[in-house]
C-alpha cells in the first residue's frame, strides 16, 4: 500500500515574489520542462531497484528511471545501489550463503558483507529485495522479500513493454558503480581479479538489447576515466552516442580518503596513489589533472577550467543536492548557471520528502519539499532525481500551469 501524502503548495504568486530575479530563467524552463528522474525507481514507495519500483515510477509519469549497475561473478549486470548486498537483500538470512560474508575495500573503504561479484546470476536470483531504510520507510518494508533482483536485460524489457502498453517512451538514466574497483582493484572471494570494464559491458549490452536511442539513455558516473573512454573509444567503436553525465559528490572536502571517498573522483585518486601515467590514462585532460591539487576533489570540476574539461566529454553534471545551494536559502550557487552557460545540463540528486532530508531554512526550520521543487524550477534546473517521482511530477505540473499565466 502506498502512503498517501498531503500535497500543499505555496501559491505561484508568492513564489514569483520570492524568486523574482529568476523570472527569465523560469520562462526558459517553461519552454524546456525539467526532467523528473525516478531515483532507483519509485524508491520512496517500494524497495529500490526492483522491477516493481521501476514500473510504479513509470506509471506515475517519470521521464527516466535510474538503474545502478553492478556485476555478478559471471559478468552479468544487475541493478543494486552497491555491490554490497547486505542491506538491500535478504542474503544475510540465507544459510546457503553464510560462507560468502567477507570484508573488502571498496574505493579504499573497508566494508563487511556479501558482494555481488561473489554470486552467479543464478544465485542472485535466489535473493529477494529489501527496503534499506525500514524505520523511515515502513511502506517499503511492507514489501520485503517479495521482489527479485533485476538484470539490465529485464529492465530494458520492462521499459519496452511499458511503451508497447501505453505508447509512452521512458528513458534509462544508468550508473555503473565503482568502475575502478571492478576494473583494477577488486577481487572475488576466491582471490581472482574481477577485471571487468563495466562501462564497456554496459554499452555492449544496450547494443545487444537494441536500446540505443540517445534521447532515452544517459550514462552517469562519479569517476572520470570511464566517461572519457566511453566518449572517445567505446561509444564510437559501437556506433552509439549516449549523453554522459559527470556526477559530483561532496565539494567541501568533508569525505576525503582514507576515511571516505565521496569528495574525490576515485579513479583519479587511485591512479595518483599508484603513480600511474596520467597522460596515458587521461589524454584529453592530462593538463588539467596534472595541474590540479592532490587529491583532486570535486570542487575542482566546478570552476571555469574544470567545467570546460567536463564539457569536453560530458553533456551534463549531476551535483549532490547538498552542494548546490547558498547557505540557508534555495538560491543556487553560481556554478549551476556557469555550467549551463558552458552547455552542460544540471541534474542534481536526490530529493526526498521525509522531514530529515529537507533543507535547512535556519537553525530551527526547513523548506518544504514543495518549496524546494518550485524554487528549482523557477531557477531553470534541467532535471531532478527524486525517490518520490509522483511528488516531483505534481510540482512540475503546477509550475508549468503557472507558465500559461
Residues 242-300 have pLDDT tens digits of 999 999 999 999 999 999 999 999 999 999 999 999 999 998 887 888 888 889 999 99
Mean pLDDT of 36-61: 98
What's the predicted TM-score (pTM) here?
0.93
> 346 has which bridge partners?
317
Mean pLDDT of the chain: 93
pLDDT of 287 reads 85
Mean pLDDT of 189-218: 98
- Retrieve residue 13's grid coordinates: 504568486
Strands (E), 222-278: 244-248
User: Contact 302/248 with Cβ under 8 angstroms?
Assistant: yes
Give the tens place of pLDDT for each residue, 348-387.
999 999 999 999 999 899 999 999 999 999 999 999 999 9
- Retrieve residue 249's grid coordinates: 559528490
Among the ranges given (6-15, 25-34, 147-156, 311-320), the one the predictor scored with the smallest mean pLDDT: 6-15
| Closest listed residue to residue 233, CA positions, set 318, 316, 313 | 313
Q: Where are the alpha helices (DSSP H) in 248-365?
A: 266-274, 278-281, 286-291, 304-311, 334-341
Query: What percent of the chain is predicted at pLDDT more than 90?
Result: 88
- In whole angstroms, what is the distance from residue 146 CA to residue 271 CA? 41
For the cut 50, the answer to whether the pLDDT of residue 319 exceeds it is yes
For the cut 90, the answer to whether the pLDDT of residue 217 exceeds it is yes
User: Contact 264/297 with Cβ under 8 angstroms?
Assistant: yes
- In whole angstroms, what is the distance from residue 319 CA to residue 302 CA? 10
pLDDT of 260 reads 96
> 111 has which bridge partners?
104
Q: Whats the size of the chain, residue-wise? A: 405
> 30 has which bridge partners?
none
| Closest listed residue to residue 173, CA positions, set 202, 140, 210 | 202
- Helix, strand, or coil here: 112? strand
Mean pLDDT of 297-321: 97
For the cut 70, the answer to whether the pLDDT of residue 12 exceeds it is no
| Closest listed residue to residue 319, CA positions, set 211, 220, 210, 181 | 220
pLDDT of 240 reads 98
**Residue with the larger pLDDT of the pair 142 and 283:** 142
**Residue with the larger pLDDT of the pair 19 and 145:** 145
- Helix, strand, or coil here: 28? helix
For the cut 80, the answer to whether the pLDDT of residue 182 exceeds it is yes
pLDDT of 23 reads 61
- Helix, strand, or coil here: 70? strand
Q: In order of start, what are the domains of the chain with their CATH numbers?
A: 12-78+152-403 (3.20.20.190)
Strands (E), 97-207: 102-106, 109-113, 171-176
Helix (H) or strand (E) holding 354: none
- Retrieve residue 357's grid coordinates: 532530508
pLDDT of 294 reads 87
User: Contact 287/279 with Cβ under 8 angstroms?
Assistant: no
Q: What are phi and psi of 122, to 5 degrees?
A: -60, -40
CA atoms within 13 Å, Cβ hemisphere of 195: 3
For the cut 80, the answer to whether the pLDDT of residue 126 exceeds it is yes
- In whole angstroms, what is the distance from residue 325 CA to residue 322 CA? 7
| Closest listed residue to residue 222, CA positions, set 200, 193, 251 | 251
- In whole angstroms, what is the distance from residue 381 CA to residue 174 CA? 20
Give the tens place of pLDDT for each residue, 62-113.
999 999 999 999 999 999 999 999 999 999 999 999 999 999 999 999 999 9
pLDDT of 56 reads 98
pLDDT band at 340, cuts 50/70/90? very high
Mean pLDDT of 211-216: 98
Integer CA distances (angstroms), 372 to 140, 167, 272, 376, 391, in order = 24, 32, 38, 6, 12
Cα 369 from chain centre: 19
| Closest listed residue to residue 352, CA positions, set 384, 398, 394, 374 | 384
- In whole angstroms, what is the distance from residue 160 CA to residue 147 CA? 20
- In whole angstroms, what is the distance from residue 177 CA to residue 165 CA? 31
**Residue with the larger pLDDT of the pair 309 and 404:** 309
pLDDT of 290 reads 84
For the cut 80, the answer to whether the pLDDT of residue 169 exceeds it is yes
Amino acid at each position: 500500500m502506498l502512503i498517501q501524502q498531503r500535497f500543499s503548495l505555496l501559491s505561484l504568486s508568492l513564489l514569483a515574489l520570492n524568486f523574482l530575479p529568476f523570472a527569465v530563467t523560469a520562462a526558459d524552463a517553461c519552454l524546456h520542462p525539467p526532467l523528473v528522474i525516478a531515483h532507483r525507481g519509485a524508491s520512496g514507495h517500494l524497495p529500490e531497484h526492483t522491477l516493481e519500483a521501476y514500473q510504479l515510477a513509470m506509471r506515475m509519469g517519470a521521464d527516466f528511471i535510474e538503474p545502478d549497475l553492478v556485476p555478478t561473478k559471471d559478468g552479468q549486470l544487475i541493478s543494486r545501489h552497491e555491490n554490497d548486498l547486505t542491506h538491500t537483500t535478504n542474503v544475510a538470512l540465507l544459510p546457503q550463503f553464510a560462507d560468502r560474508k567477507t570484508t573488502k575495500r571498496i574505493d579504499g573503504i573497508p566494508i563487511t558483507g556479501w558482494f555481488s561479484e561473489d554470486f552467479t546470476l543464478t544465485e542472485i536470483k535466489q535473493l529477494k529485495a529489501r527496503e534499506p531504510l525500514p524505520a523511515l520507510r515502513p511502506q517499503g518494508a511492507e514489501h520485503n522479500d517479495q521482489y527479485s533482483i533485476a538484470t539490465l536485460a529485464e529492465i530494458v524489457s520492462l521499459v519496452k513493454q511499458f511503451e508497447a502498453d501505453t505508447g509512452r517512451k521512458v528513458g534509462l538514466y544508468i550508473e555503473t558503480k565503482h568502475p575502478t574497483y571492478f576494473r583494477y582493484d577488486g577481487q572475488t572471494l576466491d582471490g581472482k581479479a574481477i577485471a571487468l570494464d563495466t562501462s564497456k559491458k554496459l554499452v555492449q549490452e544496450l547494443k545487444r538489447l537494441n536500446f540505443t536511442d540517445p534521447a532515452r539513455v544517459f550514462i552517469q558516473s562519479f569517476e572520470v576515466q570511464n566517461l572519457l573512454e566511453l566518449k572517445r573509444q567505446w561509444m564510437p567503436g559501437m556506433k552509439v552516442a549516449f549523453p554522459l553525465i559527470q556526477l559530483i559528490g561532496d565539494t567541501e572536502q568533508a569525505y576525503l580518503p582514507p576515511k571516505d571517498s565521496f569528495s574525490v573522483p576515485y579513479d583519479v585518486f587511485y591512479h595518483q596513489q599508484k603513480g600511474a601515467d596520467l597522460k596515458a590514462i587521461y589524454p584529453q585532460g592530462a593538463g588539467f589533472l596534472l595541474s590540479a591539487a592532490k587529491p583532486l576533489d570535486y570542487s575542482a570540476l566546478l570552476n571555469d577550467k574544470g567545467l570546460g574539461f567536463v564539457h569536453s566529454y560530458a553533456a551534463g553534471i549531476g551535483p549532490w543536492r547538498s552542494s548546490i545551494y547558498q547557505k540557508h536559502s534555495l538560491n543556487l550557487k553560481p556554478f549551476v548557471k556557469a555550467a549551463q552557460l558552458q552547455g552542460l545540463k544540471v541534474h542534481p540528486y536526490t530529493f526526498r520528502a521525509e522531514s530529515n532530508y529537507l533543507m535547512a531554512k535556519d537553525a530551527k526550520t526547513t523548506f518544504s519539499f514543495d518549496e524546494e521543487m518550485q524554487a528549482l524550477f523557477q531557477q531553470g534546473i534541467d532535471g531532478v532525481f527524486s525517490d518520490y517521482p509522483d511528488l516531483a511530477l505534481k510540482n512540475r505540473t503546477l509550475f508549468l500551469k503557472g507558465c500559461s499565466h
